[in-house]
Amino acid sequence: MSLARITHIGGPTTLIEVDGWRLLTDPTFDPPGRRYSFGWGSSSVKLVGPALGVDELPEIDAVLLTHDQHADNLDDLGRALLPRVGAVVTTVTGAARLGGGAVGLAPWAVHTLNRPGRPPLSITATPCRHGPPLSRSITGDVIGFAVEWPGQEHGALWVSGDSVLYDGMRQVGGRFDVGTVLLHLGAVRFGVTGPLRYSMTGRDGVELCSLLRPQTVIPVHYEGWSHFSQGRSGVAGAFAAGGLEARWLELGVTGLVSV
């Protein structure tokens, strides 16, 4: 049986360890209490700090960065970490902003990581839309990541990225057999835009997973910031009503996941 070690550090930030590889998603390591601007009059306060500090991380082979333009996915301490990791894979526009050899992927583009003595990791960018229709010019580009390697038993490990539920997300199930999904939720809202949502609700997660049928669903990025309108209890209620079982990872506790 092939196992991955996944540690939920906080927000969207997870450490994924599998077959000698160490991947870090969306590094956010700033302490809580600060308000961050998200542009166009929107802002959010970080309420909970990371379960691990940057100095407690092992050597990181690659950062999978869904987007660089929002502090709840890349904050100051997370940004300072990037030059010290093996590779950074992100959006095309994000790679141009970050420089330093960051790899930019458009949706469905593929980048392969190779290291001696380890299986190659194939990383495919998957589409996201971080808000309602026509919001991309305001919220910016976002991608998810489908990660595959030889010897997987249950299909790709998918990092959904910050997105509402739309056709681009639904297409993932037609292209990949998804075994494990790190599902970004939280139903993000900002007072300045009223009822508009910028990430999935628990009910959206149920609908998406009914199409993908993953073996393991790990909710992430659903609390710890003031802009989330649906926390763990709301997500759990929606999952229970929809018959979807989740694997909840407590912050800082490493879970073993069959992959």
Report the Cα 52 to chain-centroid distance in Å. 17
Per-residue pLDDT tens over the stretch 217-226: 999 999 999 9
C-alpha triplet 52, 56, 62: angle, nearest 5°? 90
Q: What is the mean pLDDT of residues 64-90?
A: 98
**What strands lie across the sheet with 156-159, from one edge to the other?**
110-113, 121-127, 143-148, 156-159, 178-184, 216-220
Question: pTM, whole model, 2 decimals?
Answer: 0.97
Q: How confident is the model at residue 1 (pLDDT cuts 50, 70, 90)?
A: low
Residue 29 has pLDDT above 70, yes or no: yes
Q: Under a CB-based contact definition with an 8 Å cutoff, are residues 166 and 129 in contact? A: yes
Those residues with Cβ within 8 angstroms of residue 208's Cβ, 6 or more apart along the chain or in another chain = 160, 165, 169, 170, 183, 200
Tell me the β-bridge partners of 34: none
Residue 145 has pLDDT above 80, yes or no: yes
Q: What is the mean pLDDT of residues 162-174?
A: 97
Nearest one of 258, 217, 214, 221 to 239, comparing CA atoms: 217
Residue 76 has pLDDT above 90, yes or no: yes
Q: Tell me the domains of the chain and their CATH numbers.
A: 3-258 (3.60.15.10)
Those residues with Cβ within 8 angstroms of residue 245's Cβ, 6 or more apart along the chain or in another chain = 217, 239
